[in-house]
Amino acid sequence: MSDPLDGLAGGTPLEPAEREGLLQTWITFRGELNEAEQTNISAGLAWVHRQARKDILNEGFMRNLHRRLFGDVWAWAGEFRSTPRDLGVEPALIRSEIRLTFDDTRYWIEKQTYQPDEIAVRLHHRLVLIHPFANGNGRTTRLIADLLAERLGREPFTWGPQGLDDIGETRARYIAALKAADDHDIEPLLEFARS
Ligand SMILES: Nc1ncnc2c1ncn2[C@@H]1O[C@H](COP(=O)(O)OP(=O)(O)OP(=O)(O)O)[C@@H](O)[C@H]1O
Ligand SMILES: [Mg+2]
């Protein structure tokens, strides 16, 4: 799930643990799951585009967004995870970390601490590191970064030459850039997001 090679094996059956909360119970293979999620996301994006004037820097919007993107596929869409993961904060800390992150983001915007792109990319990195949901963190928080970039007068990011549906080298570059950001070097992620 947070495995960077996630999408490689479309023909692999899902493990029982991976099926938890799966609403479309006919789904057996990873490829089928990816397709169902993609259909849901496309519908969710139509909703996103009607939110042009909504404040996006809050927990409620993020959860609504996650529910719109994944709610036809996963019962737990829009709910924060309740179990620990390799990546991400302890479940009990998710809400406060999210709040802190959005507060910081608002401060950066107000004080123009960074350029608009950098504010949005830093927000993505912080949110994905918290890893609030059981799955869909990458997609949800990249979209939040895109929406913030647009609100700050920029284009949405490309997230690599073909976007991150390309699962090979682009994905590796993205993960490496996230790790650099973990080590306080935001430049590779900033560059990747516009490459
Ligand atoms: N080592 C890492 N350091 C920081 N972030 C990471 C690391 N590995 C993965 N991530 C982030 O976690 C995401 C995967 O989490 P999750 O499976 O919840 O999201 P997703 O939306 O299903 O992912 P994606 O659509 O990107 O495949 C990756 O897209 C990336 O943003
Ligand atoms: Mg995933």
- If one residue of 5, 38, 87, 165 were mutated to test the ligand 1 pocket, choosing by the most ligand atoms within 8 A of its CB, it would be 87
Architecture of domain 6-193: Orthogonal Bundle (1.10)
Residue 160 CB–ligand 1 contact under 6 Å: no
CB 158 within 8 A of CB 142: no
Question: What's phi and psi for 121, nearest 5 deg?
Answer: -70, -40
187 CA → ligand 2 middle, Å: 24
Kindly report, residue by residue over 15-68, the tens digit of the pLDDT: 998 899 999 999 999 999 999 999 999 999 999 999 988 999 999 999 999 999
pLDDT given for residue 163 in this prediction: 87
pLDDT given for residue 165 in this prediction: 74
Tokens 């259909």 found at: 39
Residue 183 token pair: 């080590």
How many Å apart are CA 104 and CA 101, to the nearest integer? Answer: 5
For the CA of 133, the closest atom of ligand 1 is: 18
Residue 2 CB–ligand 1 contact under 6 Å: yes
Kindly report, residue by residue over 120-168, the tens digit of the pLDDT: 999 999 999 999 999 999 999 999 999 999 999 999 999 999 888 766 8
Q: How far, rounded to the nearest angstrom, does the alpha carbon of residue 79 sit from its chain's CA centroid? A: 14
Domain definitions of the chain by residue range = 6-193
Tokens 């099926």 found at: 19
139 CA → ligand 1 middle, Å: 8
